[in-house]
Amino acid sequence: MKTTPWKGLLLSAVFAGASGAAFAEDVTLTVESWRNDDLGIWQEQIIPAFEAKHPGVKIRFSPSAPTEYNAALNSKLEAGSAGDLITCRPFDASLALYDQGYLSSLKDLEGMGNFSPVAKSAWITDDGENPFCVPMASVIHGFIYNKDAFEELGLEVPATEAEFFALLDKIKADGNYIPMAMGTNDQWEAATMGYQNIGPNYWKGEEGRNALIKGEQKLTDPQWVEPYATLARWKDYLGDGFEAQTYPDSQNLFTLGRAAIYPAGSWEISGFNTQADFEMGAFSPPVKSAGDTCYISDHTDIAIGMNAKTEHPEEAKAFLNWVASPEFAALYANALPGFFPLSNEAVKLDDPLAEEFVSWRETCEPTIRSTYQILSRGTPNLENETWNASANVVRGTETPEEAAKRLQDGLASWYAPQQ
Amino acid sequence: MTTSSKAPIRWHIAVFLAPATLIYTAIMILPLFGTLQLSLFREIEDVQTFVGLENFQTLFGDPRWSSSFWNAFLNNLWFFVIHMLVQNPVGILLAALLASPRLRMRAFYRTAIFIPTILSFVIVGFTWKLILSPLWGVAPTLLDAVGLKFLFAPWLGKEEYALTTLGLISVWQFVGIPMMLIYAALLSIPDEILEAAECDGITGMAQFWKIKLPLILPSIGIISVLTFVGNFNAFDLIYASQGALAGPNYATDILGTFLYRTFFGFQLQIGDPNMGSTIASIMFLIILAGVCFYLFIVQRRLRRYQF
């Protein structure tokens, strides 16, 4: 595994040399990415589709291992050997690249018009002037459930929180299934699948998130504490020994049919489709009372930008415009169910579970995870502290109020608008 | 015999020492000084600026930094205490048993006990995580089989047990090292001494306490120092089994994981090489102090016996 990027580099050097000599008129664009899982999809679907429309431009997808990507990309950019197109991590990692002049501003790219402000929020300067990556996909939070188990127990999908807890009580009373598969050992499960999953309904999505960034709301305000209080109630519905249950444990509990509900991110879909031999459904985070507007976490996750030092800016821009088009969105979304395109145009998905997730976009207001933009730039790091606080609250070792106070104090210690 | 006036310069000494000195300097001493230097700087507006001991002041003065640091330090101390109380006595006991002349299949036991030491931390961490898993682990099943299920808890997920559990896992992994060193020391005790002891009527346990133990004390001292250095540098096992956030609630955070998180960053947290180096420098000083304490205070008082 460790040698892959180097092999990739060597290969790319060889290929670059060879293609340069053989097809002088062809332009080859190299795509840097951490999605080595997607190599097949790029080579078999995405690249041929693009090349068919743009003769004379060749695309080469050159991924490295996810954990090595940031470091490898940084050193390639510094050395001037990075590819023409750069897959962008969300928020500060990419913003830093833009600030250092490694990524071009895409302010004038026509395709950017296809995206909403939320979609662009992860790859834009703080003043909202210069977007620098074309959003490719997001992941949506919600709950995946075991349809067979629900039918067996005669359960209905819950719409409100009261119904949700009544449902959990019923599953628990029946005793055949663990009501919910989540553990606190890895901490991020409690924060990402728990707090960030149900939270937007309380802080009203973007409204609360932006107010927090502006310093108009505090983490100790009721709308930020209540999700913790709800999370604390989950404790009784998790499996025995959930304190030591890891993320793969939770996945296995659910796909083996031992748990009825899985607090999920949509990225689980393709894995679950191959693992589980029962039918699955999904429901969005239940609202507090019937008729409330629902909010979902539609978290921007992956985008693509242009290396500012590329020798072929025109061709690279053509590619980025194509990435912004509905054609790419449909290709990508169907190849990777659970990674949803961010463009404004609706895309038809073949996977029913993925279709269910994406349908919430029409009824609910989307937002991104509250801690990701700006608020995790300092020490203590709000995102990491949120992991810790969420796990503590679920385990019952810290009260929601204490946890919120600790987070607020931590944030206020370095973030001026909160002081 | 040549006289001192014409003593030739003994080049071969320098030649033979050079490779080790150069390599050691390049990969150990230079980075060490680089770290110490980095801890005196801070990035202010994208420029590394000399700030004297300000980083150390932050580490000990800022309530957040200092509480993280002391938490990691005390956890680390407890980790070390577990090793001193469990690993080394058990290692000595095993060595004494191995050295017993009546033991059969000695080579097998020796190898079996030593094997975990050569396993990767990742394998050890993962295996024990599986063994102790409340869902699929053998630990709850085995306890259930003997009617002791009530004793089982998700140890790695509980703040009060997690660090002790990991300490014992580490003991399990490394008990082979004190065992081997003590075993070698026991074998090097000349038979004449033991025979003389027997003539004087000192046998069995009394022989171990009165004759063998004093003779292996220097080895025990060395083992203690190795344990100290190893524990205060530990990182891998915690990282492999609990992740960089050293959960639950930082209960298993030791200096190594604290340093890693600070230096390299984690998830959305961007690394801070300056504060990281500050922690690394403190770790270096702690280890230096411990080793000096041994060298200048303990070792001088150890009585050595010449055979």
A320 has a pLDDT exceeding 50: yes
> Do A338 and A315 share a structural domain?
yes
Q: pLDDT category, B304, cuts 50, 70, 90?
A: confident
Q: Please report, for residues A256, B237, B243, the alpha-carbon distance to residue B134 in angstroms, rounded to integers and kept in the order given.
A: 16, 20, 18
Q: Quick check: is A352 in a domain?
A: no
Residues of chain B neighbouring A192 (CB-CB closer than 8 A): none
**Is B269–A381 a contact, with Cβ atoms under 8 angstroms apart?**
yes
Residues A313 and A232 in one domain: no
Helices (H) and strands (E) in chain A, counts: 20, 9
pLDDT given at position B85: 96
Q: Indicate whether A316 and A205 sit together in one domain.
A: no
pLDDT tens digits along B208-225: 899 999 999 989 999 999
Helix axes A222-234, A382-395, angle to 10 degrees: 50
Is A126 a member of any domain?
yes
Which pLDDT belongs to residue A15?
44
Same domain? For A388 and A247 the reply is yes
For residues A25 and A125, state if they share a domain: yes
Q: What confidence score (pLDDT) does residue A66 get?
A: 76
Same domain for A284 and A167: yes
For residues A232 and A286, state if they share a domain. Answer: yes
A96 falls within a domain: yes
Are residues B248 and A395, on separate chains, in Cβ contact within 8 Å?
yes
ipTM: 0.83
3-state secondary structure B72-95: HHHHHHHHHHHHHHHHHHHHHHHH
A256 and A269 together in one domain: yes
What is the pLDDT at residue A16? 44
What's the mean per-residue pLDDT of chain A?
A: 89
* A18 Cα to chain B: minimum distance (Å): 38
Count of alpha carbons within 13 angstroms of residue A143, beta-carbon side: 25
Which two three-digit tokens encode residue B132? 């102790």
CA distance B254 to chain A (A): 16
Residues A137, A358 contacting (CB under 8 angstroms): no
Query: Which residues on adjacent β-strands are paired with residue B162?
Result: none
d(CA A90, CA A100): 16
A245 interface with B at CB cutoff 8 Å:
yes
Put simply, the answer to whether A244 touches B155 (Cβ < 8 Å) is yes
Peptide bond into B273 cis (omega under 30): no
Count of the separate structural domains present in chain A = 2
- Please tell me chain B's helix, strand, coil percentages from 3-state DSSP, rounded to the nearest 5: 75, 5, 25
Q: What per-residue confidence (pLDDT) applies to A74?
A: 82
pTM (two decimals): 0.84
Do A334 and A393 belong to one domain?
no
Shared domain for A119 and A267, answered yes or no, is: no
- Candidates B244, B275, B228, B286; CA nearest to B35 is B275
B228 within 8 A of B291, measured Cβ to Cβ: yes
A251 located within any domain: yes
Say if residue A149 is in the same domain as residue A162: yes
| Residue A353 domain-assigned (yes or no) | no
pLDDT tens digit sequence for A187-196 = 999 999 999 9
Tell me if A245 is assigned to some domain: yes
The reply to whether residue B243 touches residue A186, judged by beta carbons under 8 angstroms, is yes
A227: in domain: yes
- Sketch out chain B's domains with CATH numbers: 52-301 (1.10.3720.10)
Query: What does the pLDDT read at residue A234?
Result: 96
**Contacting residues of A for B247, CB less than 8 Å apart:** 184-187, 388, 391
Tell me which residue of A230, A45, A262, A277 sits closest to A144, measured CA to CA: A262
Domain assignment present for A410: yes
Does residue A142 sit at the B interface (CB-CB below 8 Å)?
Answer: no
Query: What is the percent of chain B with per-residue pLDDT over 90, rounded to a whole number?
Result: 68
Residues B173-201: tens digit of each pLDDT: 999 999 999 999 999 999 899 899 999 99
CATH label of the domain that carries residue A70? 3.40.190.10
Distance between CA atoms of residues A285 and A289, nearest Å: 12
Candidates B65, B268, B272, B279, partner chain A, best to mutate (most A CBs within 10 A)? B268
User: What's the pLDDT score for residue A118?
Assistant: 82
Find the mean pLDDT for residues A356-363: 91
How far apart, in whole angstroms, are the C-alpha atoms of residue A150 and residue A146? 6
B64: chain A residues, CB-CB within 8 Å? 379-380, 410, 413
Tell me the residue range of the domain where A320 lies.
4-136+302-346
Q: Kindly list the residues of chain B whose beta carbon comes within 8 Å of any beta carbon in chain A.
A: 64, 129, 132-136, 140, 153-159, 242-243, 245, 247-250, 266-270, 272, 275
Say yes or no: A252 and A108 in one domain: no
Average model confidence (pLDDT) across chain B: 90
